[in-house]
Amino acid sequence: MKKSQIAFCALLALCAAGRVHSAPADVEARVEATLARLTFDEKLGQLWQFSGGQPSEAASSDRSKGTLDPKFLEAVSAGRYGSVIGKRGLENYNAIQRAAMDGIGIPLLIGHDMIHSATTTYPIPLALACAWDESLWERTASAIAVETLALGCNWTFTPMLDVALDARWGRIAEGGGCEPLVTGLMGAAMVRGFQGADMSDGFHIAACAKHYVTYGASFGGRDYNAVEMADSTLRDVYLPPFKMAVDAGVATVMPAFHSYNGVPCSMNSYLLRDILRKELGFDGMTISDWSAVRELLNHGVAGNKADAAVLALNAGIDMEMVSDCYVTTLKAAVDSGRVSMKTIDDAVRNVLRVKYRLGLFDRPTLDAAALANAIDPAANRALARECARKSCVLLKNDDGALPLKKGVKVALLGDLAANEWQMLGCWSTRDLSNFANATLLAGLKADGVDVNYVEAYTLTGRVDLAAVEAAACGADIVVAAFGDYWENSGEGNSSAILELKGDQMKVAEKVKSLGKPLVAVVFGGRPMAFPDLAKTADAILMAWNPGGCGGWGLADVLTGLAEPWGRLTVDMPYATGTCPLYYSRTTTGRPAAITANHPFGHRYTSCYNDAPFVALYPFGYGLMYTTVEYSGEKAVVEGDSVAFSADVTNTGAREANELVQVYVRDEVARIARPRRELKGFKRVALRPGETKRVEIKVPVASLGYTVDGRYAVEPGGFSAWIAPDSDSGRNLHFEISAK
């Protein structure tokens, strides 16, 4: 093992043992036998994912209906494609696979972006991460897998493992947030859910770890933008989640669109061959992102399609998505010696290996009846409701505004409160056959709340303050929907303004002026900056995009039928200008010093003169309907691990589900280190008045860092915090001895 590899392995020690795909002799033998009978053109076909061939009669909203073009099926039979992208329905899936098997005898990978939805729509990944629950992540992915097969796909382009530090980046919605450990644990759990113990069983699909790698660090939070960073940051922050996914057996990996230190990821052999293959041990298949090989021309590193194909294939891109550089230029590249036949064959081997592991050769078509029996729509809706309950985060709750008391009259305001479409999120497939119509309004009514809904305002448009006043005056408490529409997050939706848009604050201020308690339910696909709302509202529930059953889950929390569970996996900023903002920021030579004359920090320290430099709500933060206290915190080195422990007491009158978190900092290191780093967490259930001793063991091997290409744990002093969030806790000290 290379010294640099240890950085990846350190975080892995914190999670359960992964599942590594082996390469059984029979699979490898079958791959070689299949490869040997292919013509050169058929080999090139295996390296292309085609985007066409959608049913000719299909409506734009439902591509599962209609008939396939016979010419498309002829091309499939002739082996022109190794894969197609897009769902076409189960019958068409089987027609495609029959054409493939009747032709050259190689089935197709059929992929689609089933990110948080197939037929049932779950909360967006950023929301789901806030549950901090590996079992929930795995169960959700498993449910999506079966529904994905029923829609005619055997491959999904997720989990997204980009550590995202900048709330301006639209794709922050698709991943686990700003923390490598949480992102990696979530990704590995999703891989296990999608692929199962045996992904060839007919009820699981291939997963794809993306976007490899550092995409979440794009300059300015702009999608597709460049990234420059130190190799130590790459290895200690951005690579660990991908290592976790590889060790969990992920079948495929997708490199990112952007350039890393000037070299586009789609042609970066250092990332794809040296690290992914040799160091991480990945033996599956790589696929470019949409048209990313062709976009090497836009990067200015390729003069034409032939150059792009040579650069990408030689660097380690096995399959090209959508663009046709490979199939149109690689024959000439081989003839001229720019690409070797071995490189072509190795890429085809990787494609075939995934197809054999997925069981496509032995079971090319899908059994509609078996899949129908395996899907329980009611159970999936219940799971989606559970996800929504556990994903929302209670950020504020003054004077017991929540939970809503029985018998109170509630005025519900805002267009988002009754818009079923807006519950879904940026990567919903929007197949509404299992949609519950569960808006916030529907959820409150289902939970028996006396609710009067008045739209009164839209998030970015009109506001009728007279209607706000009339509704509020006729109620005991106001619940109002704030935030942003889901269309403004996700791919291609980076934002330079994170503050609440339109006249939303006018609504909050009007309710406040009437002396009515205000509960703000904030929807959206990214962290937002709302310090004024934080001052004005009595309670704030961060709802994110909670999915098709989101209104039910949110109502369960608002009414107290379920206890608040979620904790932030990102930092909520005071203002857009403070981004990128993340709890694990590096310490500086002039740390911010707050004084009476400098409320945001002294001028000559690392701060802003017009806004707080810290988070409005920090990573790990989330309230419950009860309170807890920590005492007796200890950090004790025990051989190869450090045992962190504390007494946690429920000091309130309701059940607690406290998320105990452990943060560590190397006090004196060779390079400046983060102020805190999450190293472990554990959830504990407590009855009112109950105390439990909570212990979390952290491997000493996870306390190091990479410098000069070498990962090491240096002896000396460490600070630690056992706390409910990344800004809390009593500072502990422990020593690691030299070995």
Catalytic residues: 289
| CA-closest candidate to residue 319, choices 482, 109, 459 | 109
Could you give the CA distance from residue 722 to residue 706 in angstroms, rounded to a whole number? 25
In contact, 693 and 687? CB cutoff 8 Å: no
Q: Could you write out the DSSP letters of every residue in 363-381?
A: --S--HHHHHHH--HHHHH
| CA-closest candidate to residue 415, choices 468, 492, 466 | 468
Q: Which two tokens stand for residue 715?
A: 């002896």
Cβ neighbours, 10 Å, residue 336: 10
Q: Could you write out the DSSP letters of every residue in 314-342?
A: HHT--BEES--HHHHHHHHHHHTTSS-HH
Task: Please name the residues in contact with 60: beta carbons below 8 A apart, sequence gap of 6 or more.
Answer: none
* C-alpha gyration radius of the chain: 26
Give the 3-state secondary structure of residue 146.
Answer: helix
How far CA 677 is from CA of 237, 332, 406, 738, in Å, comes to: 10, 51, 42, 22
| CA-closest candidate to residue 223, choices 235, 231, 232, 211 | 211
Give, to the nearest 10 degrees, the angle between helix 90-102 and helix 70-77: 40
Could you give the CA distance from residue 110 to residue 518 in angstroms, rounded to a whole number? 48
Backbone φ and ψ of 252, nearest 5°: -140, 160
In contact, 176 and 123? CB cutoff 8 Å: no
In what helix (H) or strand (E) does residue 241 lie, and over which residues does it extend? helix 240-247
Q: Could you write out the DSSP letters of every residue in 410-440?
A: EEEESGGGG-GGGGS-TT----GGG-----H
In contact, 288 and 318? CB cutoff 8 Å: no
Q: Could you write out the DSSP letters of every residue in 474-509?
A: TSSEEEEEEE--GGGSSTT---S--BPPTTHHHHHH
> Nearest 5 degrees, angle CA 11-CA 681-CA 551?
115
One-letter amino acid for residue 245 of the chain: A
In contact, 359 and 26? CB cutoff 8 Å: no
Torsion of CA 409, 413, 417, 418, to 10 degrees: 90
Q: Which two tokens stand for residue 674?
A: 């983060």
Torsion sign over Cα 64, 70, 71, 75 = positive
Task: Please name the residues in contact with 369: beta carbons below 8 A apart, sequence gap of 6 or more.
Answer: none
Locate tokens 């004359």: which residue? 597
Q: Which two tokens stand for residue 349?
A: 């081997």
In contact, 91 and 110? CB cutoff 8 Å: no
Q: Could you write out the DSSP letters of every residue in 60-83?
A: TTBTTSS---HHHHHHHHTT--SE
